[in-house]
Structure 1
Amino acid sequence: MSQELLAIIEQIEREKGIKKEVLIEAVESALLSAAKRVIDLKPDEEFRVELDRNSGKIRAYRNEEEVTSIDFGRIAASTARQVIIQKMREAEKDVIFNEFQGRVGEIVSGTVYRFEKGNIVIDLLGKAEGILVKREQSHKEEFKQGQRIRALLLDVKKESRGAQIILSRTHPNLVKKLFELEVPEIYEGIVEVKSISRQAGERTKISVYSKNDKVDSVGACVGMRGNRVRNIVNELYGEKIDIVRFNEDIREYIKNALSPAKVSEIKLDKEKLKAEVIVEDDQLSLAIGKHGQNVRLASRLIGWELDIRTKAVQEQDQEKEKAEKALSLGEEETVTVEKAKKKTKKAKKVLASLEGLPGLGEKTIGALKDAGINSLAELVDAGQEGLMKVKGIGEKKAAKLIADAKKLK
């Protein structure tokens, strides 16, 4: 039994990757619990069980003295079996989790196992099951049970039932990893992938840069007769791939990113990372792309906001801007004239009132208003005799007031 137990443990280590020491310690722990149930052990006594790593013999010690009265053969058979099965399950979960945790961000291969509520369960070569959730699936891809599939390992979560392995077919890094597999220059670091923007199932833009002047970055990615990029397109079920040459000059980079459209002029706002791109009328649809796809992906690729305009629209905007400035200046002049008119009107109003008469004090004005004379016209109509009835106004003053009022009236 002893040698047989060791042989089983070593076989499990080889096949399942569970360390031999982990299994031996688990068996010792289980045998200890089983042995305590069959012997009379006092609370203050020490008791331990050891499994010899070389011979496989099981020994028990009470207070460091070997106990020979226990029949470990019968106990070990059932106990070891239960413990090994349990430990195998636990260890397998840890082994799977650790293995796939270290592969996050890499491409994994498997076969379609089953479909669950829109999700696809992938058998990862018998080691584990991965799940391709609906949101990580491309709408243009369809898979059948048993079909071979490659996906990006997005995340690994530790759960009670085991490791949950999340896969993706829509992540931009899937394209990057496919290029690493197909293009040796990228894998070796000669050609660097600077940026990727992707609309899964439709189109991807990938910018590349060569660290070696003798190696053409775009040519290396395309391959002889387009073989390399064609293999990736086939893997992505016909998704279009634009390989963009990276350039430190942002104007050239924008032109490359908007390819195949031809750019006439670029105006940059470096503070806001915005660019106004001017194209000919016949290049507008190419620059924008279907449903704005080309400009949107180019914008994501370079990290700038791009505004595509034709020359005609640019000229219209310039004319509109000039008209708005002229209108603004005209409105300012109008406001100034209106203010002047109001001031003149106000001055005339003051002059037409009693307050506009020279040499007339507040008391006299108050006396005139008490007598029912509130304006210059009423003052003239009152006549000299009428004014002389007002307190403080004599004959000469009345005549002078009437003469002055006629001048201002």
Structure 2
Amino acid sequence: MAITSANQLELLQTAEAVAREKMIDPALVVEAMEESLARAAKSRYGAEMDIRVSIDRKTGKATFTRVRTVVEDEELENYQAEFTVEQAKQYMEDPKVGDVFVEEVPPVEMGRIAAQSAKQVILQKVREAERDRQYEEFKDRAGTIINGVVKREEYGNVIVDVGRGEGILRRNEKIGRESYRPNDRIRCYIKDVRRETRGPQIFLSRTAPEFMAELFKMEVPEIYDGIIEIKAVARDPGSRAKIAVISYDGSIDPVGACVGMRGSRVQAVVNELQGEKIDIIPWNEDQPTFLVNALQPAEVTKVVLDEEAGKIEVVVPDEQLSLAIGRRGQNVRLASQLTNLDIDIMTEAEESERRQKEFEERTSLFMDTLDLDEFFAQLLVSEGFTNLEEVAYVELDELLVIDGVDEDTANELQARARDYIEAQNRAALEAARELGVEDSLVQFEGLTPQMVEALAKDGVLTLEDFATCADWELAGGWTTVEGERVKDDGILEPFDMSLEEAQDLVMTARIVLGWVDPADLEAEEEEAAEETAEDQEEAGA
């Protein structure tokens, strides 16, 4: 097949038709044609030749040229595409290294195999251009809702026609057991768009919490306008969900706005989510208050927050326990996801029983260690004393407020407490020394004898050993494993040591050992303070 004047314009017409069908730039199709013709010409003239083809964008005329580059004598490798300065003088005036010589060569006759090869090159280039166009179009639409048409279902995954591409709704991203037939209309959330070798992959979801948030944004104008903000969403797809909202306009009720007149707005979202029940909850910066709201419809009697552990204890009336937990733990699980806290729920009877147990344990402690009768020990516990250290080192006036305690009795109580503590300290140090602990650790300020004993039992025998410990190894902490918070026990955690205290002790040990220069620490703190100030200024601006 020769490219004659009769079919030159057909090249441009074909390029226009393909570009229009695939919705890509016609210039990309023409470039693919040029490359395919150049490949066919190389098979005719020789693969080592640098043959290039240029198609005139107006007339469709294809020009075949051979390009040769001037190189240094010692760099000459390809005699068909390169030549030396001396050889170039036959074709050029005053040639220099790097110059190129271009000469036109006759068009080639394309046989059946060459034509088939050219077709494959064009198709490949068109596919690549189409993939790039799809990726560029959809990459910025991640995080939005899209309407599509179901094309087919493969192994439980739904292939969705989203206009200029295809998206995949995986089996685990569908709500419950919903099924679709070809040509069904479907609304999905674009979860991710990735560029892969087989083309751009558009991953869709109907179970993502963001899908519900986007649906509310579509149904509630106040959310779209930014007057109301969705702060958190927790879902059990197809069954139940909780959504926390806050209003930045005091005259607008965020919950009422999301519910709508006679529930019209929330009902539109419920219908889209296959009847998923939705609790709309007012957001509150105070975590205990927010949690009380999140556990609706259950009533909460008392909340105890442990910020460091990220845990919270909730006390509910006995008859409200099943309502607070929900069917299969659904209510408390969603409330936990919404607040990002681990929630322990107990009844008033259970809390009363726990408090009674703590009262008895402390009473028994004072009876055994201070040689007191039960009534006197109960008086101490009732006044808020929880351990021997408080009794031993508290101001004398705090003991004198207890009924029946005069100055002599108070002094005797403190003397007994101090004697017992000192005896315990001596025993702890003896046990630690038997384990091989060194004086450098014993004399380190900030560690009690009991702490030194605990460290020794864990193999920490020197100040150097202590300085290599991580703060969480000492104070304990929490690690997220497969979406669940797991407790890491610390060596000194039984002594109520916080992470900050552990960090300070370890850093002090490193300074004492000369591992860290205090001047460097000060410089780092100043730099961090400056960065924080700059961030605050930018946020304020």
TM-score by length of 1: 0.72
Are residue 9 (structure 1) and residue 46 (structure 2) matched? no
Q: In 1, distance between residues paired with 2:347 and 2:47? A: 95
User: Contact 2:234–2:337 at 8 Å: present in 1 too?
Assistant: yes
1:297 to 330, 334, 338: 334
Match of 1:35 in 2: 41
Q: Distance in 2 between matches of 1:174 and 1:326?
A: 55
Say which SS state the counterpart of residue 229 (structure 2) adopts: strand
| Aligned counterparts of 1:127 and 1:9: Cα–Cα separation in 2 | 19
Which amino acid in structure 2 is aligned with residue 307 of structure 1? D
Helix, strand or coil at the partner of 1:102: helix
Does structure 1 conserve the Cα–Cα contact (< 8 Å) formed by 2:53 and 2:62? yes
Seen in structure 2, the aligned counterparts of structure 1 residues 83 and 325 have a Cα distance that, compared at 3 Å, is same
**Which of 36, 44, 60 is matched with 1:56 structurally?**
60
User: Which residue of 108, 116, 122 corresponds with 2:159?
Assistant: 122
Deviation at 1:243, TM superposition (A): 0.9
The one of 259, 273, 283 equivalent to 1:246 is 283
- Determine if contact 1:108/1:124 at 8 Å carries over to the other structure: no
Aligned equivalent of 1:382: none
For residue 401 of structure 1, what is the aligned residue in structure 2?
A: none
2: distance between equivalents of 1:47 and 1:291?
Answer: 72
Q: Deviations over 1:353-396 (max 9, x none)?
A: xxxxxxxxxxxxxxxxxxxxxxxxxxxxxxxxxxxxxxxxxxxx
Q: In 2, Cα distance between the equivalents of 1:144 and 1:267?
A: 51
Residue pairs, 1:381-392, within 5 angstroms: none
Q: Which amino acid aligns with 2:329?
A: G
Cα-to-partner distance string for 1:317-341 (whole Å, 9 max, x where unaligned): 211221222334445478x9xxxxx
Tell me which residue corresponds to 2:25: 19
Aligned to 2:141, the other structure's residue is in SS state coil
C-alpha separation in 2, matches of 1:73 and 1:26: 16
What is aligned with 1:282?
319
Instruction: Kindly provide the amino acid, as one letter, of the partner of residue 249 in structure 2.
Output: N
> CA-to-partner distance for each residue in 1:163-201, whole Å, 9 max, x for gaps?
333222222111112112222222222211111111112
1:221 aligns with 2:258: yes
How far apart, CA to CA, are the structure 1 residues paired with 2:17 and 2:251?
53
Q: Is residue 133 of structure 2 the alignment partner of residue 95 of structure 1?
A: yes
Q: Report the equivalent of 1:398.
A: none
Equivalent residues in 2 for 1:8-407, closer than 5 Å: 8-39=14-45, 47-62=51-66, 63-67=101-105, 69-70=106-107, 81-117=119-155, 119-125=156-162, 127-332=164-369
- The Cα of 1:230 is off from its aligned counterpart by 0.5
Q: Secondary structure at the match of 2:231?
A: strand
- In the alignment, residue 360 of structure 2 is paired with which amino acid? A
Larger displacement relative to structure 2 (216-225 or 158-167): 158-167
The secondary structure found in structure 2 opposite 1:309 is: strand
Q: 1:42 to 1:321 in 2, by over 3 A?
A: closer
Q: CA deviation at 1:244?
A: 0.9
What is the alpha-carbon distance in structure 2 between the residues aligned to residue 24 and residue 42 of structure 1?
Answer: 22
How many Å separate the matches in 2 of 1:46 and 1:302? 66
Contact kept? 1:140, 1:237, Cα under 8 Å: no
Partner residue in 1 for 2:387: none
State the AA in 2 paired with 1:170. Answer: T
Deviations 1:193-225 (A, max 9, x none): 111111112211111112222332212211221
Say whether the 8 Å CA contact 1:265–1:279 is kept in structure 2.
yes
Partners of 1:125 and 1:215 in 2: how far apart? 37
Q: 1 CA distance for matches of 2:266 and 2:50?
A: 70
Cα distance in 2 between the residues matched to 1:271 and 1:70: 79
How far residue 114 of structure 1 moved from its aligned partner, in angstroms, is: 2.8
**Alpha-carbon distance, 1:312 to partner:** 2.5
CA drift at 1:260: 1.5
1:373 corresponding residue in structure 2: none
**Residue pair 1:31, 1:79 contacting (<8 A) in 2 also:** no
What letter matches 1:224 in structure 2? M
Structure 2: distance between partners of 1:52 and 1:115: 46
* RMSD value, Cα: 3.0
Tell me: CA distance 1:23–1:236, structure 2 relative to 1, closer, same or farther (3 Å).
same
Higher RCO (C-alpha under 8 Å, 6+ residues apart): 1
Range with bigger deviation, 77-86 or 176-185: 77-86
Shift in Å, 1:78:
6.7
Displacement of 1:145 in angstroms is: 3.8
* Secondary structure of the structure 1 residue equivalent to 2:241: strand
Q: 1:77: how far off?
A: 7.6
Q: Distance in 2 between matches of 1:247 and 1:204?
A: 18
Counterpart amino acid of 1:234?
N
Q: 1:143 to 1:47 in 2, by over 3 A?
A: closer
Segments of structure 1 that go 5 or more residues without pairing to the other structure are 337-409
Q: How many residues align?
A: 332
